[in-house]
Amino acid sequence: MMGFGTGLPLFVVIGFLVLGPKRMQAMLGQLARAKAEFDKASRGIKSQLTAELAGDPVRRDESKL
């Protein structure tokens, strides 16, 4: 069974063949934005849990509600 490091170039080549370079670039851009959103949400949850465990009140941005 291939590891992730050796299989990744294979998936990229297959992606280029199936989708073409323009659609592949668009999909990778969407994937990067999704990962950034996930990281942002993870940091928010982590800081909220840290604040609650420390006993500090959690500040919420009222403009987002």
- Burial degree of 40 (CB within 10 A; 0-12, 13-18, 19+): exposed
Please give the structure tokens belonging to residue 43.
């940091």
pLDDT tens-digit series, residues 43-64: 999 998 888 888 866 566 655 5
The CA distance from 8 to 14, in Å, is: 10
The predicted model gives 7-26 an average pLDDT of: 86
Q: What is the pTM of this model?
A: 0.58
SS3 of 61, please? coil
3-state secondary structure of 56: coil
